[in-house]
Structure 1
């Protein structure tokens, strides 16, 4: 049996995107922090975020307007107090990013000592309030945060380390109120399971869009934090609301290249293959309608016409303007043979954002003492039935701040002398059946796309649940007998989250926001969040 390594820290942050790194930096002066990253530490959804981050910086805008826009986009299911909490704290948290070196674009014609930021507008917003760094905002945020992390000796980043499961008092047989004590971690370099003891654990693992065949997300978005929190006894909510970004590039070699909503904010049209526009026929807001409306319209037109894709066209705008504001997209499209300034670009919807997640309070605290969840992994109540564009990075940085404040105020729970049991892999063997994982992986993602996609039905959901339960049995048996691997860990988590998504969808007997079912096409009068509790399942 391999020697098990034991790490000790104050705060274990699982995930290295905007939420995780922001929290680590806010605590680094007073706490020893370990940040886990499944792959290279920049390889997360933050890196690929194009559009920007919403905050009220314009004198003509207001916090009340930001809140109202969020509530409208959320189709009546947002928590209004949460929307206010985030909108009110947006400017200071975004200012913290600015002070940390994030190079948001500024207005060209402003020569004052404090130049104004260039603000753009996206779907659902009634004002220009999106700060951005050209069309690669996420990359600018991720890079700046990483540069700051390098300066802190109190932060250790462990790349190619998968969190395997949370360690709790209940799991190791300790008495008293249940509390998180750390996590078991799969060191992919050494192919060994290690133990991390920690006073606090923060899940910042992102969403679960990898459950779908077509997604704009990177490969790491496999719902790990949601699955781990559920297994540890935490509630989850609203997992039926999976946002499909309307405009992902349709090309066999472009698996997940997104065409930002800011293109439509700056005047791009959605068109049928014959060149005619269709969004005005579906919604008075046309291309600037919320994402659920736009994605369903594209899906409807593709099915009606039997078309493989629709088209996004901004070629009627000045070419210099297009290249200046969307340089990353322009260059990337050229590699696929498309010129954004001259022709319509083929697009399809793709799974993009998980609006539900682990239930938390305004401090990011879950049902389990010492365990926090921030960013896309969490359910705060902000997004309701549909996330408004550019509220996601905002939620990351606001909850990184509030969780850090809550952790700093908690001076108890010394675990330095506590011994935790090592991971026991003495009874398992190396697998010669990795093909089983691959087959189950592809089957899951395809059935989720076909049965739990943009348009659903009760029959489709029932079929999906039956097959997921069978796949879970197979994978759990496999997990019990063979050594862990990256693919096995991700598939185990994807199956758990897929089941939770389907159960949430089956519980909602209406169509609202991102959840549309042909069996219940209308909105219910008294709609509430869908909350699942582990002991009831």
Structure 2
């Protein structure tokens, strides 16, 4: 491999909340860090998060509902996860939440205040308490991203912007040796490093309509699979119930769940309440429940959207509390103060990902993952609203400490070339296939069609996106039940026998296969 060269102790791939948190913390510990991002440093998915950070803060910040507790937050998370979250991992991550948010506040992030001067808090779907702190009304992600980018700048964290990572390099026995990277002009290079953190964000752009920015193409899943890591829970792609429906494809403006936390209700085009009698929490039921109900109602009415009625809010309050939503609606020609907002589910969050510990370690020596690309055991089959920013903050900090502890046993290594061919499918075809057959409401026939469509190589295909898409389809086809945000119309019920995660790896031929297959290699 020829071209430019660089080196570091830790290379962080991605500049969202998890990546920047890890990079800043690791550099403070004396680790030589380099951040690589395929867009600008502030262009990750974090900036688009609206709702807030779900965290039970101590009394001295005045932001805790008296009856709330970390144990209650854990219980709500486990309930939303439909039996697949891991109790120990969930408890560990959520318990570290207060310290992580304090650290973010110390870095310069500013949260909204209530009239009494304490941190304002709201409630979102699946939460039984008002524990979601927010910033800029409905622009929490933007404030978190701003604070971290500013902190990274002050700490002089080196960043390679607009550089594309093409593969994780490994040595002859599969240990991390660095990254293969191309710069903005396509010139290839190598970054040598004994430790790599994948913090690449989500995969919403595998679908035709998503809340995710254009960079969210599932890169980290493909990179991890090719490096030999396990992935799990990929069948659980969460669709946000309320994206602004305009009829267009691509990124759809999100209509934050916090609006329903402040009294907005879902109404169908026939004038009926969408969630009436469906769930004890009504419009604030977990996202998989609300999205599933909306999709079924749309099918019954042959409609393209339902309506979110927030007309009970006066204009001043709406503009102050939900400025991002208000601006998106007005740009689409909708006045949300006097008319309901047309909404429909959109691909939003990957609950699964690269299998890691709560410290971000994978089973590949020197490879770590954090944020949406990782599967820590927190989200299970359905993510509880606003747990994602918290996870990024907590696990990002944990990864920094883990890398610092692991470095004495790691060293720069010579890499070997990966000569496996991974074909690609044209992006438009991939997105159409995923939206039609691997969205909400899947069945064996449609998933088999998706397998065939994703198996057809094209010269203009995207190999990374295709590998990730194939992994999702493989997992969705294997789980013959409905659970969380994985809804199978041919298997509508949940089964106790399926109350476990499905893990997959990439085999030597480039196919995504169950992880237990790897354990059988060489046997006999």
TM-score norm. by structure 2 comes to 0.91
Deviation at 1:235, TM superposition (A): 0.6
Structure 2 residue aligned with 1:167: 169
Deviation at 1:469, TM superposition (A): 1.6
Q: How does 1:267-286 map to 2 (within 5 A)?
A: 267-286=263-282
Structure 2 residue aligned with 1:482: none
Between the aligned partners of 2:106 and 2:77, the Cα distance in structure 1 is: 26
Q: How does 1:200-219 map to 2 (within 5 A)?
A: 200-219=195-214
Runs of 4+ in 1 over 4 A off after TM superposition: 413-416, 418-424
Query: Helix, strand or coil: the match of 2:154?
Result: coil
Deviation at 1:199, TM superposition (A): 2.2
1:11 corresponds to 2:33 = no
Between the aligned partners of 1:275 and 1:315, the Cα distance in structure 2 is: 15
List per-residue Cα deviations over 1:244-294 (Å, max 9, x = no partner): 001111114684210011011111110112433121132232110010111
Structure 2 residue aligned with 1:84: 91
8 Å CA contact 1:360–1:380 kept in 2: the answer is: yes
Given the alignment, which residue of 464, 488, 501 partners 2:472?
501
Between the aligned partners of 1:351 and 1:96, the Cα distance in structure 2 is: 31
Deviation at 1:178, TM superposition (A): 2.8
Between the aligned partners of 2:229 and 2:214, the Cα distance in structure 1 is: 25
Q: How does 1:363-374 map to 2 (within 5 A)?
A: 363-374=359-370
1:23 corresponds to 2:22 = yes
Query: Helix, strand or coil: the match of 1:347?
Result: strand
Between the aligned partners of 1:49 and 1:382, the Cα distance in structure 2 is: 18
Structure 1 residue aligned with 2:517: none
Distance 1:423-1:467 versus aligned 2 partners, 3 A rule: closer
Between the aligned partners of 1:519 and 1:422, the Cα distance in structure 2 is: 43
Query: Helix, strand or coil: the match of 2:174?
Result: coil
Q: How does 1:188-267 map to 2 (within 5 A)?
A: 188=184, 190-252=185-247, 255-267=251-263
Query: Helix, strand or coil: the match of 2:390?
Result: helix
Structure 2 residue aligned with 1:444: 430
8 Å CA contact 1:236–1:532 kept in 2: the answer is: yes
Between the aligned partners of 1:423 and 1:194, the Cα distance in structure 2 is: 15
Between the aligned partners of 1:294 and 1:226, the Cα distance in structure 2 is: 27
Given the alignment, which residue of 465, 470, 480 partners 2:451?
465
Given the alignment, which residue of 68, 71, 77 partners 1:64?
71
Between the aligned partners of 1:446 and 1:245, the Cα distance in structure 2 is: 19
TM-score norm. by structure 1 comes to 0.89
Structure 1 residue aligned with 2:520: none
Given the alignment, which residue of 477, 488, 501 partners 1:529?
501
Distance 1:55-1:446 versus aligned 2 partners, 3 A rule: same
Deviation at 1:191, TM superposition (A): 1.7
Deviation at 1:414, TM superposition (A): 6.4
Given the alignment, which residue of 485, 493, 515 partners 1:514?
485
Between the aligned partners of 1:20 and 1:257, the Cα distance in structure 2 is: 24
Deviation at 1:347, TM superposition (A): 0.8
Q: How does 1:307-456 map to 2 (within 5 A)?
A: 307-412=303-408, 415=411, 440-456=426-442
8 Å CA contact 1:457–1:517 kept in 2: the answer is: yes
Unaligned runs of 5+ in 2: 58-63, 514-524
Structure 2 residue aligned with 1:302: 298
List per-residue Cα deviations over 1:297-334 (Å, max 9, x = no partner): 11111111111211111111233222221112112321
Structure 1 residue aligned with 2:41: 41
* CA RMSD between the two structures: 2.0
- Number of positions where the alignment pairs a residue of Structure 1 with one of Structure 2: 495
Deviation at 1:389, TM superposition (A): 0.2
Query: Helix, strand or coil: the match of 1:248?
Result: strand
8 Å CA contact 2:174–2:228 kept in 1: the answer is: no
List per-residue Cα deviations over 1:97-152 (Å, max 9, x = no partner): 11111111112223xxxxx2111100000101101001000000001100111112
Between the aligned partners of 1:151 and 1:525, the Cα distance in structure 2 is: 51
1:142 corresponds to 2:145 = yes
Between the aligned partners of 1:14 and 1:415, the Cα distance in structure 2 is: 19
Between the aligned partners of 1:201 and 1:195, the Cα distance in structure 2 is: 13
- Which is further off, 308-317 or 18-27? 308-317
Distance 1:423-1:519 versus aligned 2 partners, 3 A rule: closer
Structure 2 residue aligned with 1:429: none
Distance 1:195-1:250 versus aligned 2 partners, 3 A rule: same
